[in-house]
Amino acid sequence: MIGPRSVRLTGWGMYAPERVLSNADLEKLVDTSDEWIRSRTGIRERRMAAPHETTATMAAVAGKRAVAVAGLQPDDIDLILVATLTPDYWMPATAALVKEAIGNSRAAAFDVMAACSGFVYAYATADAYVRSGMYRHVLVAGSELLTRFLDFSDRNTCILFGDGAGAVVVSASDQEGGGAAGFELTTDPDGAYMVWLPSGGSRSPPSAETISRGEHYVRMEGKETYRYATKTLATSALTAIKRAGWDPDEVDLYIPHQANMRIIEAVAKGLNLPMDKMFVNLDRYGNTSAASVGIALAEAVDGGRVQVGDKVVLVAFGAGFTSGAVAIEWTADPILGRRADSVEPVASVRAPVNWDSVDPIPPRLRELLEADAGPHVPLEDVVPGEPPQGDGHRADAKREVPA
Ligand code: ACO
């Protein structure tokens, strides 16, 4: 099998549910305050999926957008990878549901589980498949529906996470150069129980007892995770940059996992970089785990922060502990992001026959929703390709979009 001349990122897209869950909403559920959450994490609000939405529906919308931006038809995709720690079901793979939802009839499809590093791990997997010559176009989606796995009486965790999806297409190219120039992936099992979800797997199958103990919710040792994150984000990024043959200050934009503003600031300080080299959108989405880097990348490109020829580093850490980075030389014209405008924010995922799931919304969130419809942000605000919001900076919004 002969590999391509280069492997390039050709499409990108994102999806965020409409419903905003603000810090003020969380003040009604746990003993916390907007001030505490903002000052300790930088998060102002996060998104919460509607009852009819799932990890697969969100991945499908982001995925359809990425395929459109790449100028491809769904059936051009040879492999679909979904990075998630919140799959629709234990089986089948969420990627199988996404395949049908995006209208693809021929791709292989499987999930990648590396927690918040999942998007970078899946990107590396996609690159390897394309580089080997086995596939030409791989869709990588990171999608998470974390609000259904949080204990909304635990202030240590429930304030941090949100829902959403980001996607890219990784393609074979007949042109030389560009694309991923260096990777680093690590796993440190010393951190295996620092961020974890105890029950539901073979070690502790779900039962009335595991549920009464609240073992179906995310648990976290915040301080240990914080310490690991600051160290590993810096070392993973540096290793990927070194493998690319670059220096850290040559990189135009770092797109780190959006977990905590203080973590991102510490990484910038550690690498001796100004904060304007760090892309940040966690104030609006919180930590969306495997979706976070994909959402941030789509917003960075559509917001005019990435240009052809730029050096971009995606870097993430997560439960496991896992960590990963990819150093990318950007080749796609950012204006192509406008092609995503034609993709409606809806996806239809095959429903099971003769089975009705129970209400998927956790009871405390259900009470909140019923008591207060909450602030409503129109979907247009988060769809790539829309006119700039507030101080948005899509410099090239009026350029013509190639079909
Ligand atoms: N509101 C108000 N007070 C709070 C809250 C809250 N939401 N949460 C904790 N506190 C209290 C604590 O009880 C503690 O009180 P005490 O001093 O009386 O004991 C005090 O605030 C300080 O708590 P710390 O845990 O020391 O706060 P810290 O500054 O470490 O911030 C945080 C906590 C935000 C969780 C931080 O440690 C962090 O971001 N860690 C990394 C988490 C992370 O990135 N997780 C992602 C994992 S990746 C994945 O794969 C899922």
Render pLDDT for 185-205 as a digit per residue (tens, 0 to 9).
Answer: 999 999 999 999 999 999 999
Q: What percent of the chain has pLDDT over 90?
A: 86
Query: Do residues 172 and 137 lie in contact, with contact meaning Cβ atoms separated by under 8 Å?
Result: yes
Average pLDDT over all residues of the chain? 93
CA distance readout (Å), 60 to 55, 63, 144, 286: 9, 5, 12, 21
Q: What pLDDT is recorded for position 183?
A: 98
Place 19 in a pLDDT band, splitting at 50, 70 and 90. very high
Q: From CA 24, how far away is CA 34, in angstroms rounded?
A: 6
Say how many C-beta atoms besides its own lie within 10 A of residue 142's C-beta. Answer: 37
Place 369 in a pLDDT band, splitting at 50, 70 and 90. confident
How does pLDDT run across 283-300, given as a tens digit for each residue?
A: 999 999 999 999 999 999
Does the beta carbon of 34 lie inside 6 Å of ligand 1? no
Q: What is the mean pLDDT of residues 124-130?
A: 98
Reply yes or no on whether the pLDDT at 249 is more than 60.
yes
Reply yes or no on whether the pLDDT at 353 is more than 90.
no
Give the nearest ligand 1 atom to 41 CA: 34
Reply yes or no on whether the pLDDT at 85 is more than 50.
yes
Reply yes or no on whether the pLDDT at 399 is more than 90.
no
Q: What pLDDT is recorded for position 379?
A: 47
Place 354 in a pLDDT band, splitting at 50, 70 and 90. confident
CA of 223 relative to ligand 1 center, distance in Å: 7
Q: From CA 304, how far away is CA 299, in angstroms rounded?
A: 9
Q: Is-catalytic flag, 116? A: yes
Q: Is-catalytic flag, 158? A: no
CA of 307 relative to ligand 1 center, distance in Å: 36
Catalytic choice (158, 257, 260, 281): 257
Q: What pLDDT is recorded for position 356?
A: 83
Q: What pLDDT is recorded for position 402?
A: 54
Q: Which amino acid is at 244?
A: A
Higher pLDDT, 398 or 121: 121
Q: Is-catalytic flag, 287? A: yes
Does the beta carbon of 289 lie inside 6 Å of ligand 1? yes
CA of 225 relative to ligand 1 center, distance in Å: 10
Domain extent listing, the chain: 6-382
User: With a threshold of 0.85, does the pTM exceed it?
Assistant: yes
Higher pLDDT, 360 or 141: 141
Say how many C-beta atoms besides its own lie within 10 A of residue 108's C-beta. Answer: 16
Place 373 in a pLDDT band, splitting at 50, 70 and 90. low
User: Burial of 221 by CB count in 10 Å (0-12 exposed, 13-18 middle, 19+ buried)?
Assistant: middle
How does pLDDT run across 308-331, given as a tens digit for each residue?
A: 999 999 999 999 999 999 999 999
How do 253-256 and 311-318 pair as beta strands?
A: parallel
Reply yes or no on whether the pLDDT at 1 is more than 90.
no
Does the beta carbon of 196 lie inside 6 Å of ligand 1? no
Give the nearest ligand 1 atom to 194 CA: 47
Say how many C-beta atoms besides its own lie within 10 A of residue 149's C-beta. Answer: 18
Catalytic choice (104, 116, 137, 158): 116
> Which class in CATH covers the domain with range 6-382?
alpha beta
CA of 222 relative to ligand 1 center, distance in Å: 5
Reply yes or no on whether the pLDDT at 90 is more than 60.
yes
Q: What is the mean pLDDT of residues 360-389?
A: 65
Does the beta carbon of 319 lie inside 6 Å of ligand 1? yes
How does pLDDT run across 52-73, given as a tens digit for each residue?
A: 999 999 999 999 999 999 999 9
Does the beta carbon of 116 lie inside 6 Å of ligand 1? yes
- For tokens 């101080």, name the residue: 391
Reply yes or no on whether the pLDDT at 397 is more than 60.
no
Q: What pLDDT is recorded for position 382?
A: 44
CA of 298 relative to ligand 1 center, distance in Å: 28
Q: From CA 395, how far away is CA 203, in angstroms rounded?
A: 52
Cα radius of gyration (the chain): 20
